[in-house]
Amino acid sequence: MNLFGQVFAGKKVLLTGHTGFKGSWLALWLKQLGATVYGVSLPANTYPSHFQLISPECNGTMLDIGNKDLLQQIVTDFSPELVFHLAAQPLVRLSYQQPTDTWQTNVMGTVNLLEACRHSPSVRAVVVVTTDKVYENEGQRQGYMETDPLGGHDPYSASKAACELVVQSYQRSFLQQQGILVASARAGNVIGGGDWAADRLIPDVIRACQQGVPLLIRHPFAIRPWQHVLDSLSGYLCLAAELLQGKCSFSTTWNFGPSPEATQDVATVLSEMKKFWPELIWQQDQSTPVKEAQVLTLDSSKANTLLGWTPVWDFQRTAEQTALWYQAYYQQQQVISMQQLALYSHSAKQQGLAWAHTYN
């Protein structure tokens, strides 16, 4: 079942970060929608990786986006209509260990990509993926809105906020005049099958269960907006579809978070996971943790009102589908990403969500 009709069929789409968790799912989805996808990333840095498991789905080049000349060459040669920018150093704790590299990739990598786009006449729309962490975090329980101030304490969050300023500046200074529509998209804490990154809750759960060791949890009561990877990607795709139709006023910032019931603490996610892995034991990590925000929630009413976008899977379904993916992988040696994409598409249609019927 296809949720986006012919919008992406036959389109050339450049996707940075295609070897990563979210990028590999997006590559899969875009291929299913009939797009010709070309990826630019570093090689997958986990083993296993979702990209390696689905790798025939996407052509691409392994390139550091710091290499602006080669990046320009790739964009010119491939001549995409649409660009999704997901390549980033996305980990908070690693950003404390490698602040320079984090700033370099997240800020200058974005500059290099937008610079390449503005010199490529084929490009019509660019979606830059940032994060819920771009907001100045005051510890408020009310969801952050697109109009709230940018900020960021740790190098990851601050570099992503700076990336948003880069996007805004390129839009105002260059892209707007050239008719290229650029927007930035902020999703929540994304979970789903195929993530094995360090320092992330679900991959940490999987590793602990596979090794039969207790899981050390830094912040069991930290609250996050948990969402399935397909729910973040459906938001990006809705946005891209509108940009491709030339909606200039959509060339701005967007939140794509889960519904409020999915904003839960870490301990609640662990309870959901324990239903699938009864052997899971966790205990609080007593080492001095680096600063991480305790409460983070997103308000997605703008995407709801203007794009008709709402998430498809609630918290329980998100946790369930995530657990089932890893169970299929470890117990049946199966990669069920395509089946889950079909299930997600079916759920969206069945729920009668506005966006799931817009493009057909």
Ligand X SMILES: NC(=O)c1ccc[n+]([C@@H]2O[C@H](COP(=O)([O-])OP(=O)(O)OC[C@H]3O[C@@H](n4cnc5c(N)ncnc54)[C@H](O)[C@@H]3O)[C@@H](O)[C@H]2O)c1
Q: Which of 5, 12, 34, 42 binds ligand X (CB under 6 A)?
A: 42
Scanning residues 77 to 116, which ones bind ligand X (CB under 6 A)?
86-90, 105, 109
Q: Cβ atoms within 10 A of the Cβ of 297, count?
A: 20
Q: Does 183 bind ligand X (CB under 6 A)?
A: no
Taking Cα atoms as reference points, which of 295, 270, 253 lies closest to residue 140?
295
Q: What is the rounded distance in angstroms from the CA atom of residue 114 to the CA atom of residue 14?
A: 12
* CA 50 remoteness from chain centre: 14
State the nearest-atom distance from the C-beta of 357 to ligand X, in Å: 27
Tokens 């990877």 belong to which residue?
A: 229
Asked whether the beta carbons of 66 and 42 are under 8 A apart, the reply is no
Q: What is the rounded distance in angstroms from the CA atom of residue 49 to the CA atom of residue 59?
A: 16
Q: Does 190 bind ligand X (CB under 6 A)?
A: yes
Scanning the chain, the segments in alpha helix (DSSP H) are 21-32, 50-54, 68-78, 92-97, 99-103, 109-118, 155-170, 176-178, 201-211, 229-244, 266-276, 301-302, 315-332, 337-350, 354-358
Stretch that binds ligand X, among 59-67, 166-174, 260-268, 319-327 (CB under 6 A): 59-67
Which secondary structure element, helix H or strand E, spans residue 227, and what is its range? strand 223-228
Q: Which of 32, 36, 41, 112 binds ligand X (CB under 6 A)?
A: 41
Q: Which is nearer to ligand X, 13 or 65 (CB)?
A: 65
Q: Does 187 bind ligand X (CB under 6 A)?
A: yes
Q: Which of 1, 2, 12, 64 binds ligand X (CB under 6 A)?
A: 64
Q: Which is nearer to ligand X, 115 or 349 (CB)?
A: 115
Size of the site for ligand X (CB under 6 A): 24
Query: Residue of minimal CB distance from ligand X?
Result: 20
Q: Does 255 bind ligand X (CB under 6 A)?
A: no
Q: Does 75 bind ligand X (CB under 6 A)?
A: no
Taking Cα atoms as reference points, which of 313, 320, 329 lies closest to residue 275?
320
Taking Cα atoms as reference points, which of 164, 104, 145, 93 lies closest to residue 305?
145
Q: Which of 66, 179, 260, 289 binds ligand X (CB under 6 A)?
A: 66
Q: Does 257 bind ligand X (CB under 6 A)?
A: no
Q: Which is nearer to ligand X, 125 or 127 (CB)?
A: 127
Binding residues for ligand X, rule: CB under 6 A, are 17, 19-23, 41-42, 64-66, 86-90, 105, 109, 129, 131, 187, 189-190, 197
